Amino acid sequence: MSILVLGASGQLASHLRELLPSAAFWGRERLDLRDASAVEPAIESLSPSCIVNAAAYTAVDRAESERDAAFAVNAEAPAAMARAAAVLGIPLVHISTDYVFDGTKPGEYVVEDWCNPVSVYGESKLAGERAVRRLAPRSWVLRTSWVFSEHGANFVKTILRLAREREELRIVADQFGRPTYAGDLARLVAAMAQDVGAGARLPYGIYHAVGGPAVSWHEFARAIVDSAARQGRLSRIPRVTAIPTSAYPTPAKRPANSVLTPSAELRASFDVVFDWAVGLDRTIERLAPTS
Enzyme catalytic residues:
121
**How many other CB atoms sit within 10 Å of the CB of residue 256?**
17
C-beta of residue 123 within 8 angstroms of C-beta of residue 115: no
Would residue 18 be called left, alpha or beta, if left means φ above 0 and alpha means ψ between -120 and 50 degrees? Answer: alpha
Three-state DSSP at 72 gives helix
Rg, the chain, Cα only:
19
**Burial level of 199, CB count in 10 A (0-12/13-18/19+)?**
exposed
DSSP 107-132: SPBPTTSPP--SSHHHHHHHHHHHHH
